[in-house]
Structure 1
Amino acid sequence: MRGWASLPLSRSRTARTSIFFVVLALVCLAFSDIAVTTANPWQDLMRFFWGIVTPDFFSSAGLATAVLRTLAFAFVGVTIGSIAGFLLALVYRFRIVRTFSAFIRAIHEIFWALIFLQFFGFHPLTGVLAIAIPYSGIFAKVYSEILDEVDPEPRNLLHSRVGALSAFAYARIPDCWEQLRTYTSYRLECGFRSSAILGFVGLPTLGFYLESAFSQGHYSEAGAVLLLFYALIATIPLWVRPRMLPFYVLAAPFFLGDGMPIVWGNVKRFFTEDIVPAPLREGATGESFWPWLSELLVDQALPGIWNTLLLTQMALVATGVLALLAFPLISRHFGNRLSRTGGHVLLVVARSTPEYILAYILLQLWGPSMLPAVVALALHNGGIIGHLIGRQSSFITLRPDAPRGITRYGYELVPRVYPSFLAFLFYRWEIIMRETAILGILGIYTLGFYVDSAIQNIQFDKAMILILVTALLNIGIDILSRRIRKRLALQTMPTC
């Protein structure tokens, strides 16, 4: 009886939570800037699409090298991140490990790249560590959750003299190997996207050539870069095979390039002088430090937090709406094989294009405001969740006399997939927050804008404090998301 009584209560909580977030997004919309400021946005949009239709693959001599380096950074960074993450997952039960992992994954890859650029310069180590460090925290969290869900019964069947390491290798790993492999493959695809956008901070990956082409108005060249990137992502099942992975991992370091030599004196100065708050570096007492810190928080951190939260909440709800509208595109309960194929193509393009690249393109077309960022975040994350929910809905068996059209959608499928949909949405809340923060580098007044401005003004002490604020904000959203998922009885880590 208790289970039946709790079902309406759970649905009531789910409905109230959904309505609350929709209303909150509408309130945020009233305080946000979503204006289109370009003179001819539709003309610019048509020029962009014409560039994709007429790509120029031979306009840049370094495009092939950029592809290889994009892959090399991803393979090396994800390999290091997965190994470090697995080791952290083994001791993830300790609070200090969980806190450390949460902190390093809360800082976006671009922020890590901006930090390492200050003392490593344009060295391959900058790109590798920018991917490996946050991915270590992500892998630690997910691997630990996968390992915790392993059935303990096989371990109990082993002889009492079997050592802990042997028991782990033979009774625990085989039971979750497929999940570990599947998630690592997905994270490798994410690594390709992360590697590409590192080009926007100057590293020689595909993002560098995309930004150069757009800034010069060469839309055909930009179209060629985008098509190459889509081809890499779409053909992953064809060339990223288990037998070839050892070869890729061993060969990747040789394609990273040399870069500028590391000046270790710059590394020492960065940690001992550059990131020390200016009042303390100049030998002042705490009386001058606190006014300096207060001014930084009031003038930069608080406006950045406000705009980051506004943009995140609007993007979160827009992502949910788009995902609910998109999943029928690939569900077997709607359309025909041809229409579902077209839906798959649309969702692959949406989820394969990094939010940063989408926002950059839309900012060039619509001008600087929150609108390009909201649309970019919604398209990418909505494409991911729509794809997962669409696949999940295809496994639902309907009655022979089930209604069709909008009635089937609203009364048969949405109620059944809605808990999983919310689990995915709240699980990506932290990710949307991370992306929102770094979109400030493009000129939107989120925390990333103030971080980038501080670095440009060689105020690394202010930049590090603002990055710390960004990390704490992301950790807070992650904690809140877990509590909401627990309260609504959603899966802690949704799987599909």
Structure 2
Amino acid sequence: MFFSPSVRITLCFIGIAVLCLFAADLAITTVNPWKDLAALFLGVVTPDFLSLEGIGIALLRTLAFAFTGVALGSVSGFLLALAFRWRIVRMFSAFIRAIHELFWALIFLQFFGFHPLTGVLAIAIPYAGIFAKVYSEILDEVDPTPERVLPVGSQTLSAFLYARIPDALPQLVTYTSYRLECGLRSSAVLGFVGLPTLGYYLESSFAQGFYSEVGALLLLFYLLIATMRLWARPKLIPAYLVAAPFFLGDGLPIVWGNVVRFFTQDIVPSPIRNNEGWSGLLSWLSDLALNEALPGIWNTLVLTQIALVLTGIVTLIAFPLISQHFGGPTRRTVGHVLLVVARSTPEYVLAYILLQLWGPSMLPAVVALALHNGGIIGYLIGRRSSQIELRPDAPRGVNRYTYELVPRLYSPFLAFLFYRWEIIMRETAILGILGIYTLGFYVDSAIQNIQFDRAMILILITALLNIVIDMISRRVRAGLKLKVSQTCEDY
């Protein structure tokens, strides 16, 4: 039987995910998970806004970190995008975006402490790498015709400003707006490492069993995301950017001696610091590889592949919820609400909640990754499905879904899915901080034991693993001729 390349690669990834299921720990270990889940649901529908002290400041700081970090990241990313044709710039951008914001925060915490600079740089640095990649794609897709009609002898800068930027500006603005939404999620998650954003209060309330407070915090965050079009208007952005640094809060003064010591001593492998020679270094690296790096890599890959396939399944189930080809306005409105909740809830927050309800295993992480990423891709595919015009005699119900829409949407569906593969890998690694045995678990353990040299090696391995996945993803997309450049506008 002949299968198209898209079907063959789909079956291949499904087969890998099924094999990974046998190596995954997907157990529910809590005594009464459904009772806890019901208590959480009751808290969400009965939110207690009045008992939240300091929540106004937390909201302002969540916004301040997001605006400041995204602004620095976008400016830096734009400058990198101008030189993106150079291999060294592409490699540098790939490296800094491959390290998750929480890993950057854990690094800066070691020498900056709980200073606002920790949160700002934790967002700005990886976002600069992301902006560089996407901005360069947008600029490369600009119609070259306006540059050709410029007067002979026009300077390169003038041609860039007057012929390329105006055409690319709408997509640049659209993608930057999307990144601001991502920045809000990243800013909220930084609270889980101690910075005074929404995540800090969410973790505190959940740990104490105050589910009504948890519900209030989640609803406030969803409201913040859902109303972005109202309060994040282009004319107001400059005022927000000017005001944001003043709401970052204060921290202890930075001791620059700690910064110097971190880079000159703390992250230097201990055998080198202790003059143990090559044999000591090889023994140290062997121990790190066998007991931490290889188990972390294995679990990260297993969890990623299961989450990737489950994301695809969630997407195919979710996109009809908002497609105009299924149901009426009421159903689509409910569908929009569900997908907004799914895509607005950071994977880290959702995984944290599910871990408290189900216990420590890979299951909460898999479900969290699939719901969040499936919500994002399902929303995008649902929008695309609504743009498809069907014949008046087109079949309805299951046949419409199976024979009319899915075949037409399958290429962009795979493009989005493989585009998110690298992102799912980044999130999988960082979820180890919650106690799942991915690379993040061993990074966090090393930092807790003040073994910064081991932590930095593991973070570098995480970055390299993400770069490899990104390379494989690009080759798969190129082999299937999947267009992902258009995702810049959709995202």
TM superposition score normalised by structure 1: 0.97
1:180-218 per-position Cα deviation (integer Å, ceiling 9, x unaligned) = 000000000000000000000000000000000011111
Residue in 2 aligned with 1:216? 208
SS of the counterpart of 1:400? coil
Alignment of 1:412 onto 2:400? no
Which residue identity does 2:74 align to in structure 1? S
Query: Could you tell me how far apart the structure 1 residues matched to 2:252 and 2:383 are?
Result: 46
| Correspondent of 2:247 among 242, 250, 255 | 255
| Correspondent of 2:358 among 343, 346, 366 | 366
Report if the CA contact (8 A) 2:416-2:484 is conserved: no
Residue in 2 aligned with 1:113? 105
Cα-Cα RMSD:
1.0
Alignment of 1:26 onto 2:9? no
Residue in 2 aligned with 1:339? 331
Alignment of 1:43 onto 2:30? no
Which range moved further: 246-255 or 285-294? 285-294
Residue in 2 aligned with 1:89? 81
Query: Could you tell me how far apart the structure 2 residues matched to 1:467 and 1:18 are?
Result: 30
| Correspondent of 2:317 among 306, 319, 325 | 325
Query: Could you tell me how far apart the structure 1 residues matched to 2:38 and 2:64 are?
Result: 34
Query: Could you tell me how far apart the structure 2 residues matched to 1:467 and 1:49 are?
Result: 36
Which residue identity does 1:420 align to in structure 2? P
Report if the CA contact (8 A) 1:78-1:191 is conserved: yes
Residue in 2 aligned with 1:313? 305
SS of the counterpart of 1:128? helix
Which residue identity does 1:222 align to in structure 2? V
Residue in 2 aligned with 1:5? none
Query: Could you tell me how far apart the structure 1 residues matched to 2:329 and 2:484 are?
Result: 34
Report if the CA contact (8 A) 2:446-2:452 is conserved: yes
1:101-132 per-position Cα deviation (integer Å, ceiling 9, x unaligned) = 00000000000000000000000000000000
Unaligned residue ranges in structure 1 (runs of 5+)? 1-7
Residue in 2 aligned with 1:453? 445
The runs of at least 4 aligned residues of structure 1 exceeding 6 Å deviation read none
Residue in 1 aligned with 2:60? 68
C-alpha deviation, 1:493, in angstroms? 2.8
Query: Could you tell me how far apart the structure 2 residues matched to 1:244 and 1:226 are?
Result: 25
Residue in 1 aligned with 2:238? 246
Which residue identity does 1:183 align to in structure 2? Y
Which residue identity does 1:238 align to in structure 2? L
1:410-464 per-position Cα deviation (integer Å, ceiling 9, x unaligned) = 0000000000000000000000000000000000000000000000000000000
Report if the CA contact (8 A) 2:304-2:424 is conserved: yes
Which range moved further: 162-171 or 425-434? 162-171
Which residue identity does 1:205 align to in structure 2? T
Query: Could you tell me how far apart the structure 1 residues matched to 2:52 and 2:327 are?
Result: 42
1:138-166 per-position Cα deviation (integer Å, ceiling 9, x unaligned) = 00000001111111111010001211111
Query: Could you tell me how far apart the structure 2 residues matched to 1:12 and 1:227 are?
Result: 44
C-alpha deviation, 1:57, in angstroms? 1.3
Alignment of 1:194 onto 2:198? no
Report if the CA contact (8 A) 1:423-1:493 is conserved: no
Residue in 2 aligned with 1:133? 125
SS of the counterpart of 2:374? helix
Query: Could you tell me how far apart the structure 2 residues matched to 1:371 and 1:426 are?
Result: 22
Alignment of 1:489 onto 2:489? no
Using a 3 Å threshold, how does the CA distance of structure 1 residues 494 and 305 change in structure 2: closer, same or farther?
farther
SS of the counterpart of 2:4? helix
Residue in 1 aligned with 2:220? 228
Which range moved further: 429-438 or 152-161? 152-161
Which residue identity does 2:277 align to in structure 1? T
Alignment of 1:142 onto 2:134? yes
Report if the CA contact (8 A) 2:64-2:244 is conserved: yes
Identity percentage of aligned residues? 72
1:333-365 per-position Cα deviation (integer Å, ceiling 9, x unaligned) = 000000000000000000000000000000000
Query: Could you tell me how far apart the structure 2 residues matched to 1:160 and 1:89 are?
Result: 26
Residue in 2 aligned with 1:207? 199
Alignment of 1:349 onto 2:352? no
Report if the CA contact (8 A) 1:323-1:382 is conserved: yes
Alignment of 1:432 onto 2:412? no
Query: Could you tell me how far apart the structure 2 residues matched to 1:338 and 1:12 are?
Result: 37
Query: Could you tell me how far apart the structure 1 residues matched to 2:463 and 2:173 are?
Result: 28
Query: Could you tell me how far apart the structure 1 residues matched to 2:421 and 2:13 are?
Result: 12
Query: Could you tell me how far apart the structure 2 residues matched to 1:236 and 1:89 are?
Result: 27
Report if the CA contact (8 A) 1:315-1:377 is conserved: yes
SS of the counterpart of 1:428? helix
Query: Could you tell me how far apart the structure 1 residues matched to 2:287 and 2:84 are?
Result: 37
Report if the CA contact (8 A) 1:105-1:136 is conserved: yes
1:281-336 per-position Cα deviation (integer Å, ceiling 9, x unaligned) = 11221121011011101110000000000000000000000000100000000000
C-alpha deviation, 1:265, in angstroms? 1.0
C-alpha deviation, 1:494, in angstroms? 4.0
Query: Could you tell me how far apart the structure 1 residues matched to 2:307 and 2:52 are?
Result: 35
Query: Could you tell me how far apart the structure 2 residues matched to 1:217 and 1:281 are?
Result: 45
Query: Could you tell me how far apart the structure 2 residues matched to 1:290 and 1:134 are?
Result: 31
Query: Could you tell me how far apart the structure 2 residues matched to 1:57 and 1:117 are?
Result: 31
Query: Could you tell me how far apart the structure 1 residues matched to 2:31 and 2:72 are?
Result: 46
Query: Could you tell me how far apart the structure 1 residues matched to 2:68 and 2:460 are?
Result: 26
C-alpha deviation, 1:60, in angstroms? 2.8
